[in-house]
Amino acid sequence: MKDFFAELLEMLSTCILIVCLSFAAFLLILNFYHYKDITHTEVFEEGSRTQYNEYKRMLSKVDKKMNKVNHNNVNYSTTAKPIYEYYKNCVESLNSGTFAKLDEKNSITAQDIYNSNDDILKNYNNLCIFYIPYNITVIHNNYKLSVPFNSVFKNTEAKRKIVIDNATYLTKSGLGNSSYSFTTEVSRNSIYNKNINEFRLTINNYKLMASILDDVANWYVAEFGGNS
């Protein structure tokens, strides 16, 4: 009798093990195919490439404006120079981020979109779109710069909120792609189309960031001299 129950328990345990292994294999296969879908590369289409290049041209114009000012002038040592250093730190961070590296690629993935917006939330908010305007207001209050920055700060702050809201939405949307799902042709096309649309939104987000830096550059030239 004991042998019977022992064999029965052994059979039950074997069945349970088989069921568990089968379910694990099912999840693994499901995840593999879903991973292939969300890492699918989309061609860097001409329209997006044009908008991407426009963003780079905007940054180039900002850089020319910022470099028109002689920030090493002894009279500006406590004002123009630190502002320029804030700006250079921002640019160095932008140039080392995911979005800048897309210039070397012919295709984009959902991961590129997620990382580009995650960079905004984790890096550029602190180094660029919040940090620079905020620190100029500190300098303005301490040294009473001749051209008030208050109106510029309000404008850049309004744009910053839009950028952060957009980046937050796009990163959350990217995390949604990582869920387990049964991929059909409809859902697969939905993911691909979403990638294209969200990449366009990401480019617009970076262009708005460049616009914030341009607002700062225009004020910077007006305050410290140069040709905007």
Using one digit for the tens of pLDDT, what is the confidence trace for 74-100? Answer: 677 788 999 999 999 999 999 999 999
Mean pLDDT of the chain: 80
pLDDT at 228 over 60: no
Q: What is the pLDDT of residues 112-146, one digit of tens each?
A: 999 999 999 999 999 999 999 999 988 888 887 87
* Residue 114: its H or E element: helix 110-119
162 in a structural domain: yes
pLDDT-derived band at 59, boundaries 50, 70, 90:
very high
For residues 157-182, give the mean pLDDT. Answer: 82
The mean-pLDDT minimum among 100-109, 170-179, 183-192 falls in 183-192
What residue type is 157 in one-letter code? E
25 in a structural domain: no
Predicted local confidence at residue 22, as pLDDT: 53
46 vs 221: which has the higher pLDDT = 221
- Tell the residue number behind the tokens 């120079």, with chain if given: 81
23 in a structural domain: no
Predicted local confidence at residue 10, as pLDDT: 60
9 in a structural domain: no
Percent of the chain with pLDDT over 90: 49
Total count of domains within the chain: 1
pLDDT-derived band at 177, boundaries 50, 70, 90:
low
Predicted local confidence at residue 29, as pLDDT: 47
Percent of the chain with pLDDT over 70: 71
Under 8 Å CB-to-CB from 121, ≥6 apart: which residues?
A: 164, 167, 168, 171
196 in a structural domain: yes
CA angle in degrees (0–180, nearest 5) for 49-54-55: 100
How far CA 104 is from CA of 107, 116, 181, in Å, comes to 9, 15, 32
Q: What is the pLDDT of residues 19-47, one digit of tens each?
A: 555 545 544 544 544 444 445 556 577 88
7 in a structural domain: no
Asked if residues 106 and 43 have their Cβ atoms less than 8 Å apart, the reply is yes
4 in a structural domain: no
Biggest alpha carbon–alpha carbon distance for the chain: 100
Q: Is the pTM of this model over 0.85?
A: no
Predicted local confidence at residue 34, as pLDDT: 47
112 in a structural domain: yes
Query: Which of 40-49, 147-156, 163-172 has the highest average model confidence (pLDDT)?
Result: 163-172
* Domain span at 173: 39-224
Predicted local confidence at residue 129, as pLDDT: 93
